[in-house]
């Protein structure tokens, strides 16, 4: 883990910035595909790696580099590799570090598309994956084989906000010669820094809180230079590249990350407390609540509970679980019905039929995702307005 002279809030504003000869105070946006060289010899040196510098925006762009350096500083990582989306970040990490016949142990409580990537795509290329309980370290230990290369976990998980002990999983992985990969999308470095807790690699969907306003797609892989070298090599060849414009948007998003995450968490906790008191709610999942199964652990690893609240809607006598959940969603007028999260606008979704719809019913049940579960990514509106938009829960 790298160390910096400044506090994280200052790094979010100042780290990574490079000025051109024009002296701009805001990072420059380099919307060009290639870069000129002074001579054929310099071109050869750049391509050969003996001289640093920009070559081609598929793998070297000044704006993208500034974003990478800023996010690396915030996560305490030696290097960051920016990618075109959060899913491409996972793909780049696995393709760079694993080979045919290797084995991954993954939490069954991960994003539905991540399950599809592991089970339906990477499995076709000979990668073996075992899904286990996120919160039971014994399951991770039992799943180890001589071919295990990676542990993959989201903490908090999507959508139930389960929390794993990062240091415990890291210790199990390291004793077996494997690496721990943590998806830090829900928390961001403003709330949790997995590398400092023992993880080897961090994955981000920059599309979410790093952007903060639902504008651009992007992802990132972070870790030591030794681990990121093959990830960068995969990106250079395969082209799962972050655009310069998106990197510039993310740079602006990072400047306000800490104050936004505090506001998201403040609203989310207030809404979660209110939801627990509603007649139409059977159960609330939020790490900042004392009722959360891993509340104590979450408060050790995180600075707050984050911005995601999930809850079970209590069906009426004539309703199925799905009908009750859909009725609540359809009754909202303020909260956006969309599966994205991390936006300034609050969003609401039904995981069983959206984010996890391609996961089998059996796998959803094993992950605890019922037909009555609703997920809200709490935004920056006034919390009283969010409560009013969910007022149908008051009448069970």
Task: List the domain boundaries for the chain.
Answer: 8-255, 258-394
Query: In this structure, which long-range contacts are made by residues 90-94, counting pairs with CB atoms below 8 Å and at least 24 apart in sequence?
Result: 90/114, 90/117, 90/152, 90/183, 90/203, 90/219, 91/117, 91/240, 92/221, 92/231, 92/234, 92/235, 92/238, 92/240, 93/150, 93/181, 93/201, 93/203, 93/221, 93/231, 94/122, 94/127, 94/150
In whole angstroms, what is the distance from residue 104 CA to residue 255 CA?
35
Residue corresponding to tokens 């000129």: 36
In whole angstroms, what is the distance from residue 325 CA to residue 179 CA?
39
Cβ 150 vs Cβ 179: under 8 Å: yes
Q: For the residues 315-342, what does the mean pLDDT come to?
A: 96
Cβ 239 vs Cβ 58: under 8 Å: yes
Average model confidence (pLDDT) across the chain = 95
Q: How long is the chain?
A: 396
Alpha helix segments (H runs only) across the chain: 8-14, 40-48, 62-75, 86-97, 112-116, 137-143, 166-175, 225-238, 244-255, 257-276, 295-301, 321-331, 361-366, 383-389
- How confident is residue 396, by pLDDT bands cut at 50, 70 and 90? low
Q: 86-97 vs 225-238: helix axis angle to the nearest 10? A: 110
- How confident is residue 3, by pLDDT bands cut at 50, 70 and 90? low
- Based on C-alpha coordinates, what's the Rg of the chain? 21
Q: For the residues 47-54, what does the mean pLDDT come to?
A: 95
In whole angstroms, what is the distance from residue 367 CA to residue 48 CA?
47
Residues 6+ apart with CB under 8 A from 175: none
Torsion of Cα atoms, 40 then 42 then 44 then 49, to 10°: -170
Query: Which one of 3.40.30.10, 1.10.1270.20, 3.40.50.300, 3.90.1150.10 gives the CATH number of domain 258-394?
Result: 3.90.1150.10
The pTM assigned to this predicted structure is 0.95
Cβ 216 vs Cβ 197: under 8 Å: no
Cβ 240 vs Cβ 64: under 8 Å: no
Q: CATH 3.40.640.10: does it fit domain 8-255?
A: yes
* Residue range 91-135, pLDDT digits in tens: 999 999 999 999 999 999 898 899 999 999 999 999 999 999 999
For residue 44, is pLDDT > 80?
Answer: yes
What values do phi and psi take at 375, rounded to 5? -115, 130
- How confident is residue 366, by pLDDT bands cut at 50, 70 and 90? confident
Beta-ladder partners of 56:
34
Q: For the residues 64-72, what does the mean pLDDT come to?
A: 98
* Residue range 188-233, pLDDT digits in tens: 999 999 999 999 999 999 999 999 999 999 999 999 999 999 999 9
The predicted structure's pLDDT at residue 5 = 83
In whole angstroms, what is the distance from residue 249 CA to residue 245 CA?
6
């Amino acid at each position: 883990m790298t160390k910096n002279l400044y506090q994280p809030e200052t790094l979010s504003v100042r780290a990574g910035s490079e000025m051109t000869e024009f002296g701009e105070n805001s990072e420059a946006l380099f919307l060009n595909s290639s870069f000129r060289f002074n001579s054929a010899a310099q071109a050869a040196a750049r391509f050969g790696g003996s001289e640093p510098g920009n070559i081609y925006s598929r793998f070297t762009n000044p704006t993208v580099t500034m974003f990478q350096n800023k996010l690396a500083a915030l996560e305490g990582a030696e290097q960051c590799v920016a990618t075109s989306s959060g899913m491409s970040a996972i793909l780049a990490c696995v393709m760079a570090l694993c080979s045919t016949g290797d084995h991954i142990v993954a939490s069954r409580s991960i994003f539905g598309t991540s399950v599809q990537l592991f089970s339906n795509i990477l499995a076709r290329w000979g990668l073996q994956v075992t899904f286990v309980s996120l919160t039971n370290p014994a399951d991770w230990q039992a799943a180890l084989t001589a071919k295990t290369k990676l542990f993959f976990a989201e903490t908090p998980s999507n959508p139930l906000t389960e929390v794993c002990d990062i240091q415990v999983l890291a210790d199990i992985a390291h004793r077996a010669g494997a690496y721990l990969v943590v998806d830090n999308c829900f928390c961001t470095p403003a709330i949790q820094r997995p590398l400092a807790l023992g993880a080897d690699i961090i994955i981000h969907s920059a599309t979410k809180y790093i952007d903060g306003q639902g504008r651009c797609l992007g992802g990132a892989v972070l870790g030591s230079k030794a681990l990121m070298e093959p990830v960068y090599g995969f990106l250079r060849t395969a082209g799962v590249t972050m655009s310069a414009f998106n990197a510039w948007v993310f740079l602006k998003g990072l400047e306000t990350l800490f104050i936004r995450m505090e506001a998201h968490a403040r609203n989310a906790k207030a809404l979660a407390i209110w939801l627990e008191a509603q007649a139409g709610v059977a159960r609330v999942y939020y790490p900042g609540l004392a009722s959360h199964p891993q509340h104590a652990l979450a408060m050790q690893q995180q600075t707050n509970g984050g911005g995601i609240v999930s809850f079970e809607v209590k069906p009426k006598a004539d309703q199925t679980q799905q009908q009750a959940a859909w009725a609540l969603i359809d009754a909202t007028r303020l909260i956006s019905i969309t599966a994205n999260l991390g936006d300034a606008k609050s969003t609401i979704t039904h995981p069983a039929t959206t984010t996890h719809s391609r996961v089998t019913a059996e796998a959803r049940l094993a992950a605890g995702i019922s037909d009555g579960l609703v997920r809200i990514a709490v935004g920056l509106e006034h919390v009283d307005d969010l409560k009013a938009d969910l007022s149908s829960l008051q009448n069970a």
